[in-house]
Amino acid sequence: MGPSPRRGSLDFVIQKHRARALHYDFRLEIGGVLASWSVPKGPTLQAGVRRLAMPTEDHPREYGRFEGVLPRSSGSGVVMLWDLGGYNPEVETSKGVRTEVVANADAVAESELKAGMLKFTLYGSKLRGSFALVRTGGIGGRDAWLLIKHKDMFCAPAYEAGDYDFSALTGRSMAQISAEGGGAPSTTLS
Ligand code: MN
């Protein structure tokens, strides 16, 4: 762990959020905002495992720096910066062969988001390597997406996000953040 040189053209952040139910807010910078999904079971590094990811509203990029306790007026709950870093979108250059896009990354990500098939490489402190977010048939009239880890050298069998209860920014656990409070959210949270 520890600081490493920034890689990836765009920001990503995953906020572990204990509200009514615990979930992980998975956010990718696209078009100047953080496109967002709520992942109840959290992301995993297990190859091919599909995690339900329900789309939520876009958030301002500044919100991606928030860790602390939200006031009830802002959605309430405890928020940890579980992972953060940069990412690059990927394009499939031939069947099964994905290549990272650095120049024009934002336009490519926006196009893939609209198409419901986002492929990307994460450079986080916990999550690394190639992933996909895929839109599937809706659940109860809402779009549902799946977060999937592609096979690569960063895959880890039995990886569960819940086994890593510490902030990528401060090292604090959810219990410590809850006890210490702090933070000044400038916006509401889903
Ligand atoms: Mn949330």
Per-residue pLDDT of 132-180, as tens digits, reads 999 997 667 778 999 999 999 999 999 999 999 999 999 999 999 999 8
> How remote is the CA of residue 70 from the centroid of ligand 1, in Å?
11
Give the environment of ion ligand 1: residues with CB less than 5 A: 17, 25
> How remote is the CA of residue 69 from the centroid of ligand 1, in Å?
12
> How remote is the CA of residue 20 from the centroid of ligand 1, in Å?
9
> How remote is the CA of residue 94 from the centroid of ligand 1, in Å?
36
> How remote is the CA of residue 148 from the centroid of ligand 1, in Å?
20
pLDDT digits (tens, 9 = 90+) for 91-122: 999 998 999 999 999 999 999 999 999 999 99
Residue 19's SS3 state is coil
> How remote is the CA of residue 8 from the centroid of ligand 1, in Å?
24
Query: Across the chain, what does the average pLDDT equal?
Result: 91
pLDDT of residue 70: 86
pLDDT of residue 38: 97
pLDDT of residue 20: 86
pLDDT at 5 over 70: no
> How remote is the CA of residue 108 from the centroid of ligand 1, in Å?
26
> How remote is the CA of residue 91 from the centroid of ligand 1, in Å?
29
Contact 189, 79 (CB under 8 A): yes
Q: How far, in Å, CA of 73 to CA of 159, rounded?
A: 35
pLDDT at 126 over 80: yes
> How remote is the CA of residue 97 from the centroid of ligand 1, in Å?
33
Residue 183's pLDDT band, with cuts at 50, 70 and 90, is low
Sign, CA torsion 106/109/111/113: negative
Q: Which has the minimum average pLDDT: 5-9, 32-36, 128-132? A: 5-9
pLDDT of residue 144: 93
Q: Which has the minimum average pLDDT: 26-30, 86-90, 92-96? A: 92-96
Q: How far, in Å, CA of 64 to CA of 38, rounded?
A: 14
Please name the residues in contact with 36: beta carbons below 8 A apart, sequence gap of 6 or more: 25, 26, 27, 55, 56, 57, 58, 59, 190
